[in-house]
Amino acid sequence: MSGPVVDPIELAIFRSAVHSVAEEMGAALRRTALSPNIKERRDYSCAVFDGEARVIAMGDHMPVHLGSMPMSVEAAVAATKFAPGDIVVLNDPYAGGTHLPDITMVLPVFLPDAEKPEFYVSARAHHADVGGAFPGSMGPAREIYQEGVRIPPVRIVRGGAVDCDVLNLILLNVRTPHEREGDLAAQIGACRVGERRIQELVEKYGAGRLRVLVDELLNYSERLVRAELRRMPAGEFAAEDWLDDDGVDERPIRIAVKMRIDPEAATMHVDFSGSSAQVNGSVNAVRAITLSACFYVLRCLLGHDAPATAGILRPLMLVAESGSIVDARPPAPVAGGNVETSQRIVDVLMRALAQAVPDRVPAASAGTMSNLTIGGIDPRTGEPFTYYETMAGGMGARPGIDGISGVQTHMTNSLNTPIEALEYAYPFRVRQYAYRRGSGGEGRFRGGDGLIREIELLAPVRVTLLAERRKFRPWGLQGGEAGAAGRATVTRARTGEEAELPGKCSVHLEVGDVLRIETPGGGGWGNSRHSESAGKD
């Protein structure tokens, strides 16, 4: 017996409506946040879930957040007996989180006289500092306890009132409590915006009809993915790539995958067995990150208007060994797993997928978020500050078109901090901000160029880098050449000497020192010699 019929037009309207809820939550968060990291860079994500904690809508925000956020919501639901007006906060990577700076809030949406929530809304934001041994909480730690305050699922709002004890416990453990309090308040406000909009949808459709539409939306996403898998060739496609090191020792770290596509069953089996064991440094990825990368790659197979829901993951079977670099166990540090290893997992998945559908997969993009954190005392105010930035690089060339230069790719979707905002908020002077010409890989279609950014420090600071693609360059495809490796240097004001910095390090710099960062270019696609000879014919 078939279920209730859903008209395609009605489903499209509902899909747009619920997606707009997540988008409006993000807009509210951005407008009310205090930190440049959220206001300017937009390092946040918002999503809507049904009563079974299945994601039904995501804002067009950060892929690394969005694919992993369902596990945080599941952890919050499992740990909490929600009541109306509650909001739970958490950041524990081992309870569905990503890394400690990403703080997630979960608000239940109750209908009148209901005993359990009918929906949940969630907002996640990267906070520029959550304590720990390094300003910005993104340093070369050796265990998670050095990375900052670790928050299990706990109510930060009870019955509509902020729990000041929980809030104060968080604020006492960070370097910039005023900024953190403002950003946390912005997240609370964003969740309440989502609650109001969901209640309006209930008034419009009725609870029963909404359940029908939610189920059909999830099924529609699943059908779209399975339709793509049915068009692919059957087989097993293996690939590997390497992280440069973990910041503790110089050994490269292997990430390997076997991707088995079964068009008849319309399934994809992804097995990361053979990847390196978890390491001492902070590039370990928790399972939520690996699942998020898989979600992203499956989403890339679909059209831009396909709904991003839990249905996308239904055809996926994921194998990741516990205690490995792609499914770390506590107390492994994980700050870089979210920002760097997530990128390499995507690179490996794309490299395998290129064997199945070579005309649909681009060459490797920059493959690093080139994370920069700077902390110290602002001489203008006498107060501590922490600055965090991920820097764009080159996009890999695609079949038929060159890669884009100076763009955030794959698991990151943030903007840059504009020079005006940067110099206003922090004791810095930007000396140069430009494309890194010639850094994209050559090929029939050329990889995009990376960026150059030079910052002069106007106060004594601690600078921390967490970057990749220094030893293993972004690879090309179909004969295309690799993009240029990343690079960072510091020029000392006292001596004028220039020294190269490792990709993962934390150093003290003085007034007048100049930090220069060059991000990797993307790989090229296609053999350029073949292109030239074809042109002569």
What are the residue ranges spanned by the domains of the chain? 8-220, 362-537
- Confidence tier at 529 by pLDDT (50, 70, 90): low
Name the DSSP class of 115.
Answer: S
Cβ burial of 314 (10 Å; 0-12, 13-18, 19+) is middle
Whole-angstrom Cα distance, residue 464 to residue 135? 8
Q: Return the SS3 of 9.
A: helix
Region 256-267 average pLDDT: 98
Helix crossing, 164-171 with 177-205: angle to 10°? 140
Across 64-73, 388-397, 450-459, least confident range: 64-73
As a whole number, mean pLDDT of residues 328-355 equals: 97
pLDDT digits (tens, 9 = 90+) for 403-430: 999 999 999 888 899 999 999 999 999 9
Q: What is the mean pLDDT of residues 22-40?
A: 95
Give the residues across from 455 on adjacent strands: 430, 515
Cα distance between residue 243 and residue 472, in whole Å: 7
Whether residue 534 has pLDDT greater than 50: no
Q: Would the pLDDT of 483 be above 60?
A: yes
Indicate the pLDDT class of residue 59, thresholds 50, 70 and 90: confident
pTM check: above 0.85: yes
Contact 6, 213 (CB under 8 A): yes
pLDDT score recorded for residue 532: 46
Tokens linked to 461: 């600071």
In what order do the strands lie in the sheet containing 461-466? 383-389, 371-378, 461-466, 504-509
The confidence band for 186, taking pLDDT boundaries of 50, 70 and 90, is: very high
Whole-number Å distance between alpha carbons of 73 and 79: 10
Residue pair 150/131 in contact (Cβ under 8 Å)? The answer is: no
Closest-CA residue to 370 (of 237, 499, 515): 515
> Model confidence at 68, in pLDDT bands (50, 70, 90)?
confident
Map tokens 């609870």 to a residue: 207
Tracing tokens 């934001």 back to the chain, one arrives at: 125
Average pLDDT along the chain: 95
Q: How confident is the model at residue 152 (pLDDT cuts 50, 70, 90)?
A: very high
Report the chain's terminal Cα–Cα distance, integer Å.
62
Phi and psi (nearest 5°) for 4? -60, 145
What's the whole-number mean pLDDT along residues 479-504? Answer: 97
Q: How far apart are CA 8 and CA 489, in angstroms?
A: 56
Please, which residues bridge with residue 435 across strands?
Answer: 451
Residue 236 has pLDDT above 50, yes or no: yes
Report how far apart, in Å, the C-alpha atoms of 305 and of each of 12, 22, 495, 529 are: 10, 15, 55, 37
- Give the rounded percent of residues in the chain with a pLDDT score beyond 90: 92
Evaluate if residue 531 carries a pLDDT over 70. Answer: no
Query: What pLDDT is stored for residue 1 in this prediction?
Result: 45
**DSSP β-ladder status, 44-50 and 55-58:** antiparallel
Amino acid (1-letter code) at residue 303: G
Other beta carbons less than 10 A from residue 429's beta carbon: 15
Q: Is the pLDDT of residue 280 over 50?
A: yes
Phi, psi of 302 (to 5 degrees): -100, 165
3-state helix/strand/coil string of 457-489: ECCCEEEEEECCCCCCCCCCECCCCCCCCCEEE
Q: Is the pLDDT of residue 6 over 90?
A: no
Any idea what DSSP says for residue 340? Answer: I
Question: In sequence order, what are the residues at sequence separation of 6 or more whose Cβ sits closer than 8 angstroms to the Cβ of residue 297?
Answer: 346, 349, 350, 353
The Cα 405–Cα 393 span in angstroms is 7
Q: Is the pLDDT of residue 46 over 80?
A: yes
Q: Position 470: which residue type?
A: R
Reply yes or no on whether the pLDDT at 104 is more than 90. Answer: yes
Alpha-carbon gap, residue 329 to 148, rounded angstroms: 17
| pLDDT at residue 239, as a whole number | 98
**pLDDT of residue 537 exceeding 50:** no
Residue 535 has a pLDDT of: 37
Residue-level pLDDT at 63: 74
Q: What is the mean pLDDT of residues 46-56?
A: 96
Q: What is the DSSP string of 13-75?
A: HHHHHHHHHHHHHHHHHHHH--SHHHHTS--EEEEEEETTS-EEEE-SS-HHHHTTHHHHHHH
- In this model, does residue 166 exceed pLDDT 80? yes
Q: How far apart are CA 413 and CA 422, in angstroms?
A: 19
